[in-house]
Each structure stands twice: as C-alpha cells, then as structure tokens.
Chain A
Amino acid sequence: MNLFGLAFRSLLNRRFAVVLTVLTIALSIALLVLVEQMRSEVHDGFYRSVSGTDLIVGARTAPIQLLLYSVFGIGDATNNVSWETYQELANTSDVAWAIPMALGDMHRGYRVMGTDHDLFEHYRYGNRQALEFAAGRAFDDLFEVVVGHQVARQLDYTIGEPVVLSHGTGRTALQQHEEHPFTISGILAPTGTPVDQTLYVSLAAHRAIHIGWERGTRMPGAEIDADAARERADALRPDSVTAILLGLNTRAAVFGLQRRINDYRAEALTAIMPGITLQELWRITGLAEQILRVVAGLVVLAGLLGMLTVLLTTLNERRREMAILRANGARPWQIAGLLVFEAGLIAACGIICGVLLALLAQALAAPWLLTTFGLHVAASWPAAGLWLVLAGILLAGLVIGLVPALMAYRRTLADGMQVKM
C-alpha cells in the first residue's frame, strides 16, 4: 500500500529515534504482559497443588499460614498436632484417608517431610493426578528416602545414593545427622507442584533422627545407631505431626467436620478448605496485583507519550517533505494518514517486541522460580484476554498518532507546496 510503504521508509530514515521509541514501548508492554502472566501462573500453580484435598488440619494458626507451610513449604509452623488427635481424626467415620506431615527438617535447602504410604496412595494434584515414580519405589526400610523430581535434578541424585538429613529449616545446616545416612529408594515424576522440591521419609525415620535431640541440641551418645534403630522401628513414631491432609468419604460432610475440628476442645486446631483459603490469600495479594497492573498501565502510557513526543518534534523538519508530497498530488488527509501509519507501525513493533521480551524473560526466570519457589512457570503466549488488551493499546497508539496527524493536516493546508522556511 502506498502510504504504508512511505510511512515505513520514512521511519527507517529516522532509525535511531524510532528504535529507542519502539524499545520504550516494548519494555512497557513486556512489563504489562509479565505482570499478567506471572499472576495467572502463580494462581494456577497454587490451585494445581491443592486440588483433591478436602481439608488441611494443623495446630491453631491463621488459615493462610497453615496453607502456606503445609502444602507450599513457605514459612514454618509454630505448633504441632498431637499424635493422639491425629489418630482420632484418621479414624473418624467421615474421613476416607489422612496423610500426616511431619515438617521441620531440611536437606541442602529442600524440605524433608515425614509421612506414610497414604501420601503415595491418596495424594492428588492438578487434574486428579496421583503421584508417580519416575524411578524406584516408596520407602520401605527405615532409612530410605523418596525425593521429588527437582531435588533429584538439581542435586544430581540417583537411586541408592546416600543422603544426610539436617535438623532445622535453614539453608545451611550447622547440625548434621551423620549417624543416619539415608539412601534414595525412589524419585518421583515431575508434578509442577512443591512436591518436586520435597524429600519424603517415613514417620518412624523422622522420629529416629530426633532421638537425642530432646533437649533442643545434639546430645552426644544419646543417638542410636542405624541397626538398633531398625529394630525399634515399630516403637518409633513421632509424638506429634505438623499437619494432616484429609480426604472425606462424603464431600458434603466437609462443612460439618471443619466446624467440629475448629471447635475441638481437647486441642487447639485449625481446619481449612484449601480452595477457600487460597482465595483469601489472593485477596491479600490482590491489592498488590492491582497496584502492579496500574503501574504497568501507566508505564505503557508513558511509552506511548514518548512516541507522541518523537512524532511531534519531527513535524517541523518534515514541512518540506509535506510540500514535496503535495506538489506531486498528495491530498492533505494522505499526509495526515502517513503520520497515523507511522504511529501505528511504531506501536505495533513495540507490542510485538514487548511480547517477545516477556517470553524471553519468562524462559530465563523459569528455572530460578522453579528451584526457589517450586513454581512451575511455562513461557507461553499471552492469553486471549491479554491479546485484547494489547489490541486496545495498538488502538491507543493510533489515536495518539492522530495528534501529530491533525497538526500536519492543518499545516499542509496552509503551506501547500511552498514552505516559508
């Protein structure tokens, strides 16, 4: 098309300023896209992790806190649930299965969870997915550990490899349990949930590690060696668990059971419905998300205004060009249209580069997000709704182009083919 070709070559002539403008818009668009996509990825990732659990029970604490430390390994519990209460819960008639979680240990930055075979049998995530083994099997022997996919990948672990577990939840372990090296019996298939970042041992093993720690610090001679521990395996169980995931026989019973757990007089407990508590979490982060969106929008506006500035400042220089075009038969609206096209081209290039930049940023950040937060972020094209927003931004760019276009229109009407320079 006539005007399009002229607009393109005109922009090419002012490459430097145009590239800077395109870059400004691209950065602002990348910010906008990233904010939206990260938000939806984080939300999706969290939902994927809790799908399939009816209730999560822990010592009395804020619901969001319980959700975060039990499922996502973010933060720590301040209190535990007694073994007796856990047993009673597991034996309640409404309860189909109960997965105990004993937390508090770390292995080279990844958390270690004491649990039992109910985890491998009953835990569900995503679209009713059960846990699968990429290699090996669940723990059998006392000192066997199952590791999540990311743990195996990052630490380069294979079946049969020995690992040492540490007390506490810091990244660097000052106190090591050298007496009880574990061997890896299984590596789980990737799930895209915090399961990938976790190591799993039996509850008995969890207890065995802590014999000798009753006074809060390591007492020499008080630990038992591996074989002695194996013999006492049946008697070894923790006196408490940190959290319990419950699946019910009748889903509708969840409301009543939740109430009764929260009202339980023998021990202070909190029971949460993950779907509800997640939304409460989003409500808190929602404000920050909204602010981020507004900021991103303002940055886009700044980018477009930068484009306006560039187009306006060139208007004066282009009076001669406009006179030449008019002399050769161009109509005033065509000259104005040239400027609108230029604005549109700049905005379109900015948007495309911005989307590509966002993709690149996601691809680069994905590994870090996975290892640090257990967040599975796939570098993906914007969703349909976001494309609509981007189309709206293109439209805004064209509208902004109307400003210099109208000025050019009036100027060329007055100038004709002579320019009084």
Chain B
Amino acid sequence: MSKLSVAILALVLLLPVVPLLAEEPRELEWLELMPAEEAETWLAESSGVDHSGFEAPEPFQSYTTVGELDGENVRIPGFVVPVETDGNGKLKEFFLVPYFGACIHVPPPPANQIIYGRLEEPIPMVNIWDAFWMEGTLNIEDISNDTADAAYTMDVDRLVLY
C-alpha cells in the first residue's frame, strides 16, 4: 500500500475518536453546588430567625461556593427566571433555580442554589413553567457585598428543554 493510502486509512480510523476527545459537560446536581458543611448547618439554623425586616439574616444568605467547580463545563437542570432581555424581547440573562415558583410556604433558594446565566446570543423567550438543561462554563464571581463572598454564574452554551 502506498504512503498516501496508509495516511488516509489512519485518518479515517481516527475520525470516530475525535468526538470522544471533546469534553462532555459534567452533569451536576444542585446539592453539589453547596459546600458539605453548609448543608449540615443549614438544617440546624433554619428555626428561630427574625423575619420582620428587609435585611437578610446572615445564615440564609451565605454565598459560600464550592471552589473546585470554578471553570468547569457542566450541565444542570432547572427552571428559568428571566432577568434581562435584548431590545427585541429575546432572553439574554436569567437565573436558573432548582424548583419552580416562589411557593409561599417554602423559603427561597439560598444563594448557592442559584446560577446566574448569561447568553452570548439572545434566544427567543422561554417558558418559565418548563424545565431546562443548562450547559456551559460555571464561574464563581466575587460579589462586593458585606453579607456575601461569591456567587455562581455561567456563560451558557446551550439551553434545551428538559
């Protein structure tokens, strides 16, 4: 066999391998976003908090994050809360939250159970009642706030219906 034929054959055999080399987004569960210690103390602190003002009670609004997840390519399911649209009503920035609805009997999700997603290309507005898979690079950004450390954001690659 000529050298050219060998080269072509090698290329053809390697082609199926290429997609495998590309990084598959890691599928994440919401609880993985919360540091282990916090999950334990969270349950302990949930009683006896002052609800009478607008100020955030500290234990509830901790923004502690799991550092290792910074920069990871992940995939996580959740519900969309639209925040910003472009001039044409298309979705640009949004929150992804673990459950739908501000049910008045359950406290809102803590800060490390919320991901702020940014789309480079705005997409047509999505339904807030549908669940979506969000894929992209998870980032941990510093927040300048006396009650917070950092929060999760994501540069969203894909938002697909669950």
Contact = CB atoms under 8 A, between A and B. Distances in A.
Interface string B28-63: 000000000000000000000001111110001101
Interface centre among A254, A275, A276, A279 (most CB of B within 10 A): A275
5 contacts: A40-B89, A92-B55, A93-B145, A255-B108, A279-B127
B27 interface: no
Interface string A38-55: 001001111110011010
B contacts with A: majority SS: loop
B123 interface: no
B87 interface: yes
A126 to B, nearest CB: 4
A259 B56 CA distance: 10
Contact of A93 (B111, B116, B129, B147): B147
Contacts of B143: 249-250
A301 to B, nearest CB: 27
Contacts of A276: 81-82, 128
Contacts of A324: none
Contacts of B55: 92-93, 260
Given A252-B114, A255-B114, A44 B89 contact: yes
A264 interface: yes
Interface string A264-289: 11100000010110110000000000
B121 interface: no
A251 B109 CA distance: 13
B108 A256 contact: yes
Interface of B: 51-56, 60-61, 63, 81-89, 92, 94-95, 97, 102, 104, 107-109, 111, 114, 116, 125, 127-129, 143-148, 151
A250 B151 contact: yes
Contacts of B92: 127
Nearest to B51: A263
Contact of B87 (A127, A253, A257): A127
Chain A interface residue bracket vs B: 35 or more
A65 interface: no
Kindly name the residue among A47, A93, A263 whose own CB sees the greatest number of chain B CB atoms within 10 A.
A47
A228 to B, nearest CB: 37
Interchain residue pairs A-B with the least CB separation, the first 10: A275-B82, A44-B89, A255-B108, A47-B89, A127-B87, A126-B87, A92-B54, A47-B85, A259-B108, A279-B128
Contacts of A40: 89
Interface in A80-129: 88-89, 92-94, 126-129
Nearest to B148: A250
A257 B108 CA distance: 9
B87 to A, nearest CB: 4
B111 A253 contact: yes
B151 to A, nearest CB: 5
Nearest to B110: A256
A254 B146 CA distance: 16
A349 interface: no
Interface of A: 40, 43-48, 51-52, 54, 88-89, 92-94, 126-129, 249-266, 273, 275-276, 278-279
Contact of B85 (A51, A249, A258): A51
B111 to A, nearest CB: 5
A259 B102 contact: yes
B145 A251 contact: no
B127 to A, nearest CB: 7
Contacts of B86: 126-127
A401 B89 CA distance: 40
B93 to A, nearest CB: 8
B82 to A, nearest CB: 3
Contacts of B109: 255
Nearest to A90: B54
Tell which of A44, A250, A261 has the most Cβ of chain B within 10 Å: A250
A264 B54 contact: yes
Given A52-B84, A259-B107, A276-B82, 16 more contacts: A40-B89, A51-B84, A88-B53, A94-B54, A249-B143, A249-B145, A253-B148, A255-B97, A255-B109, A255-B114, A259-B108, A275-B85, A275-B94, A275-B128, A276-B81, A279-B82
A56 to B, nearest CB: 13
A48 B56 contact: no
Contact of B54 (A261, A273, A275): A261
Given A43-B89, A264-B54, A275-B83, A256 B61 contact: yes
A124 B147 CA distance: 26
A259 B92 CA distance: 25
Contacts of A263: 51
A127 B85 CA distance: 7
A260 B89 contact: no
A89 B104 CA distance: 21
